[in-house]
Amino acid sequence: MTRAIFRLLPLLVATALAVAALVAGVGTTVQAIEPHRAELVERLPDLDQETPAELEVKVLDSHAGPSYRLGFRSAVRNVGAGPLIVYGSRPNTETPFMTVDQLIDRSGEPARVVRDVGLMKYTISPGHRHWHYLQFDRYELQRYELLRAGSNEALVTDRKTGFCLGDRYRAKTARRLQAASKRPVYTGSCGLGAPDRLYMQEGISVGWGDDYGAFLEGQDLPLDSLPDGRYVLVHRVNADRHLEEQSYANNAASVLLDLRWWRGKPYLRVIATCPDSDRCAAGDRPAAAAK
C-alpha cells in the first residue's frame, strides 16, 4: 500500500500544478476581457438665434398722438447634441418667481444640474397666461455709425417678459443633426391658467425651435425717438450665458435697416441680414437671403 502511494505521488503533484496553472490562466483571461466602463458623455444644447424676420411697422393711437413700433418675429433653434431643459421651482405660492436650474443630459446617468440660471414668472397678457423663462431672448436697436465706431450702446432695448419654451417648429439646417428628435417632446403650454404651480419644466429638443411672432408678448421696439439713419436690429439668445451650451458663437443675429421719416410716418428698408452676427453691415448678406 505504501509503495502504491509513493508511485501515485508524482502524478498527484503534477495534476495539482496543472490545475493551479489553469486557474491562474483563467483569472488572467477574465481580467483581460473585463469590459471597461464607458466614459460619461454630456450632451449639451446649442442655441442658434435665427435672423429677425417678418418686420412690420404698426401705429398705436393714444391721447398723446400716434406712436410707431417695429414688430418682428424672433426664433431660437437647438442645433446641439442634447436638449435644452430648464426646471423652475419655488417654495410656496407667496414667492412670485421660480428659481430656474438647467438640466444637462448625460448618457444613461442622472442629469447634471446647473444651479440658478434665471427666473420664471407667471405672465399675464392678452392671449397669454402662463410661466415664462425670463430674458431668454433679448432685442435692441443700435445706430449703425456707432457700431462702426466701436460702440456697443443700444439706443432702444426690449421689454420682453420671456419665453414659454417648447418644440414649436422643426428646425431646418444645412447639416444633419445626429441627435435630432423625430417628434416634438416639449409640447406643453407652460402651466396655462395655473399661477399656483410650484414647479415647471420647459425645454427645446435637438432639431426643434421656439418662436414668437411680431407684436406678440413684447416682440416690438419703439421708433418714435429715432432720427433718419441706418440701424442694426439685434436679437440675442442667452445673452448672460447662464445656460451652458456647446457654442456661444451663434447666439446673435441681426438685420441692417434704413429708417426714413416722411410727413411724420416712418419707412423702413431692409439692407442686409446677418446670421450669427450682432454687427450687420451692408453687403454681408442680401436681404432676400434671410435665415
Rounded distance between C-alpha atoms, residue 234 and residue 219, angstroms: 12
Given a cut of 50, is residue 9 above it in pLDDT? no
Residue (of 80, 56, 83) closest to 68 by Cα position: 56
> Cell numbers 442655441 correspond to what residue?
47
As a whole number, mean pLDDT of residues 114-130 equals 90
First and final CA of the chain: distance in angstroms? 98
Q: How do residues 140-152 score in pLDDT, each as one tens digit? A: 999 998 887 777 7
The DSSP element (H or E) to which 7 belongs, if any, is: helix 2-33
What's the rounded Cα separation, in Å, for the pair 100 and 270?
37
Q: Which amino acid is at 240?
A: D
pLDDT band at 226; cut points 50, 70, 90? very high
Query: pTM for this structure?
Result: 0.82
Grid cell for residue 175:
447639416
8 Å CB contact between 184 and 125: no
Largest CA distance in the chain: 129
Q: Tell me the β-bridge partners of 208.
A: 170
Indicate if the alpha-carbon torsion angle 130, 133, 135, 139 is positive or negative. negative
Give residue 33's Cα distance to chain centre: 42
Residue 118 has pLDDT above 90, yes or no: yes
- Distance CA(114)–CA(245), nearest Å, equals 12
pLDDT tens-place string over residues 154-171: 889 987 778 999 999 999
Q: Are 49 and 255 in contact (CB under 8 A)?
A: no
Rounded Cα gap, residues 60 and 200, in angstroms: 35
Residues 51-94: pLDDT tens digits?
Answer: 999 999 999 887 778 899 999 999 999 999 999 999 999 999 99
User: Residue 36: is its pLDDT beyond 50?
Assistant: no
Q: Output the pLDDT for position 218.
A: 85
